Amino acid sequence: MKYQANEKGYYGDFGGAYIPEMLYPNVEELRTTYLDIMNEPSFKEEFNQLLKDYVGRPSPLYYAKRLSEKHNTKVYLKREDLNHTGAHKVNNTIGQILVAKKLGKNRIIAETGAGQHGVATATVCALMGIECIVYMGEIDIKRQAPNVARMKMLGAEVRPAKSGSKTLKDATNEAIRDWINNPVDTHYIIGSAIGPHPYPDMVTRFQSIISEEIKWQLKEKEGRENPDYVVACIGGGSNAAGTYYHFLDEPDVGIIAVEAAGKGVNSGESAATSQLGKEGIIHGCRTLLMQTPDGQITEPYSISAGLDYPGVGPLHSHLYKTGRGEFYSVTDDDAMTAGLELSQLEGIIPAIETSHALAIFNDKKFKADDIVVISLSGRGDKDLNTYIDYFKL
Ligand SMILES: Cc1ncc(COP(=O)(O)O)c(C=O)c1O
């Protein structure tokens, strides 16, 4: 397949494993075992059973009639918001906790931005009875307070990251530091399609259940497996990678990625990595990265904690550079308006991350008979205060 990582974890020019020597044994252990573990019949059976009975999969593919009428095209929503814990993140944490168990690890660390990955990690650690520490930027701890409470309720320890922009990038730095100090007993559950190889590929494979289901669900509803477009928001890129995966080598399916433009791409307060990024290395992989001319990482900004990241996964950099994906950037204001629109047209309050994907209709005009599948990556409960403040509800 053209868009798979090669053996060294490269998607074209992007990917690889750029890690400090101290992390080499951990990452190497994972790299040499992950595919064998994932292919074991007993692993597949346990993973699929948990996705079904614990997560509640398959998630519905919902035809959004009123949204479709409004934008004069056929819109289906892939309802990852209906998963246990409220977002797609749990597909990956179920997979990785099973990998960690196979590797004999008894301590889990994670980073989180919106808190959805932190909650999903705390959840599977409670399920398996494993110690859990989640690193989270101080600013994110404030803006995603309900998720912090959920993680604590689930028995996880939430450690604040106080450096830099006090958001996702800084939480990831702290988690990497922890892993370096605890190499033997700890597995680091990365929450997006980022990090050193094999993480982007492993996370993408766990999330690929999204497009696997879209194929047969669409066949049932429309008599064909391929939509005309798949659309997803991009933080690090895991819900997008899962939504695109089985369509990457299908040229008749358009791939649309939506990034956070914050207060505007050129405002200095943005997270529009494909527009502003240059090739560089962040958190263990070569990818597009927002940086100063001398290579210092630029502090990102977005109203949504889950998209507030200065890089993007290597698969997405490759999709951008090769032109396979169409990339759009959506401002805070346009995302918030799209979130309100979905709430009032369909009775579904989306996560603010997801609202960015829903704002695609401002930028892209679809044909009336196009089938457009949008990844509804998460529910908006965690964001209610931000919506309330913004709309003065
Ligand atoms: C609901 C939701 N959607 C999207 C994202 C962005 O992450 P990713 O790009 O890995 O899907 C997050 C991250 O926290 C999220 O919580």
Q: Output the domain CATH number for residue 212.
A: 3.40.50.1100
Residue-wise pLDDT tens digits, 142-186: 989 999 999 999 999 999 999 999 999 999 999 999 999 998 999
Using the mean position of ligand 1's atoms as its centre, give its distance from the Cα of residue 171 in Å.
Answer: 15
197 with 120, same domain: the answer is yes
Q: Which atom of ligand 1 sits closest to the CA of residue 378?
A: 1
Q: Is residue 320 part of a domain?
A: yes
* Residue 215 designated active-site: no
Q: Which atom of ligand 1 sits closest to the CA of residue 115?
A: 14
108 with 231, same domain: the answer is no
140 with 239, same domain: the answer is no
Query: Residue 289: how many CB atoms within 10 A of its CB?
Result: 23
* Residue 165 designated active-site: no
290 with 166, same domain: the answer is no
User: Which of 173, 203, 233 is the C-terminal boundary of a domain?
Assistant: 203
User: Which of 203, 238, 253 is the C-terminal boundary of a domain?
Assistant: 203
The 3 state secondary structure assigned to the chain is: CCCCCCCCCEECCEECCCCCHHHHHHHHHHHHHHHHHHHCHHHHHHHHHHHHHHHCCCCCEEECHHHHHHHCCEEEEEEHHHCCCCECHHHHHHHHHHHHHHCCCCEEEEEECCCHHHHHHHHHHHHHCCEEEEEEEHHHHHHCHHHHHHHHHCCCEEEEECCCCCCHHHHHHHHHHHHHHCCCCEEEECCCCCCCCCHHHHHHHHHCHHHHHHHHHHHHHHCCCCCCEEEEECCCCHHHHHHHHHHCCCCCCEEEEEEEEECCCCCCCCECHHHHCEEEEECCEEEEECECCCCCECCCCCCCHHHCCCECCHHHHHHHHHCCEEEEEEEHHHHHHHHHHHHHHHCCCECHHHHHHHHHHHCCCCCCCCEEEEEECEECHHHHHHHHHHHCC
Residue of 270, 302, 377, 382 marked catalytic: 377
Q: Whose CA is nearest to atom 12 of ligand 1?
A: 306
Q: Is residue 9 part of a domain?
A: no
Task: Find out whether 191 and 111 touch, Cβ atoms under 8 Å.
Answer: yes
281 with 239, same domain: the answer is yes
* Residue 52 designated active-site: no
Using the mean position of ligand 1's atoms as its centre, give its distance from the Cα of residue 235 in Å.
Answer: 6
Q: Is residue 12 part of a domain?
A: no
Q: Whose CA is nearest to atom 7 of ligand 1?
A: 235
Q: Is residue 331 part of a domain?
A: yes
Q: In what order do the strands lie in the sheet with 325-331?
A: 61-63, 74-79, 371-376, 229-233, 254-262, 325-331
**Domain of 260?**
56-86+208-391
Residue-wise pLDDT tens digits, 297-336: 999 999 999 999 999 999 999 999 999 999 999 999 999 9
Give the pLDDT score at 1: 66
Using the mean position of ligand 1's atoms as its centre, give its distance from the Cα of residue 90 in Å.
Answer: 11
> How does residue 2 score in pLDDT terms, banded at 50, 70 and 90?
confident
Q: Is 172 left (phi over 0), alpha (psi -120 to 50) or beta?
A: alpha
Cα gap 297→172, rounded to integer Å:
14
Q: Residues with Cβ within 6 A of ligand 1? A: 87, 113-114, 116-117, 192, 233-240, 306-307, 351, 353-354, 377-378
Q: What is the mean pLDDT of residues 349-372?
A: 98
22 with 47, same domain: the answer is yes
Residue 31: pLDDT over 70:
yes
295 with 368, same domain: the answer is yes
Cα gap 46→344, rounded to integer Å:
39
Q: Which atom of ligand 1 sits closest to the CA of residue 351?
A: 1
Query: How many CA within 13 A on the CB side of residue 233?
Result: 35
Using the mean position of ligand 1's atoms as its centre, give its distance from the Cα of residue 239 in Å.
Answer: 6
Q: Is residue 5 part of a domain?
A: no
Using the mean position of ligand 1's atoms as its centre, give its distance from the Cα of residue 223 in Å.
Answer: 30
Identify which of 4, 49, 90, 78 has the alpha carbon closest to the alpha carbon of residue 318: 4
Q: What is the mean pLDDT of residues 224-245?
A: 98
Q: Whose CA is nearest to atom 14 of ligand 1?
A: 306
Cα gap 78→373, rounded to integer Å:
7
286 with 318, same domain: the answer is yes
User: Which of 203, 225, 247 is the C-terminal boundary of a domain?
Assistant: 203
Residue-wise pLDDT tens digits, 52-80: 999 999 999 999 999 999 999 999 999 99
Q: Indicate the average pLDDT of the chain.
A: 97
Task: Find out whether 214 and 207 touch, Cβ atoms under 8 Å.
Answer: no
Residue of 111, 213, 341, 346 marked catalytic: 111
Using the mean position of ligand 1's atoms as its centre, give its distance from the Cα of residue 1 in Å.
Answer: 26
Strands 285-289, 157-161: pairing is: unpaired
* CA–CA–CA angle 230, 252, 64 (5° rounding): 35
Question: Ligand 1 test: best mutation among 230, 377, 387, most atoms within 8 Å of CB?
Answer: 377
Token code pair at residue 103: 């590797």
Q: Is residue 379 part of a domain?
A: yes
Residue-wise pLDDT tens digits, 107-139: 999 999 999 999 999 999 999 999 999 999 999
How many structural domains does the chain have?
2
Q: Is residue 106 part of a domain?
A: yes
Give the pLDDT score at 175: 97
Cα gap 303→122, rounded to integer Å:
24
Residue of 89, 105, 166, 169 marked catalytic: 89
217 with 345, same domain: the answer is yes
Q: Which atom of ligand 1 sits closest to the CA of residue 112?
A: 14
122 with 142, same domain: the answer is yes
177 with 157, same domain: the answer is yes
Q: Is residue 10 part of a domain?
A: no
> How does residue 18 score in pLDDT terms, banded at 50, 70 and 90?
very high
305 with 379, same domain: the answer is yes
Q: Which residues pair with 280 in a beta bridge?
A: 287
- How far is the first Cα of the chain from the last one, in angstroms, to the nearest whole number? 48
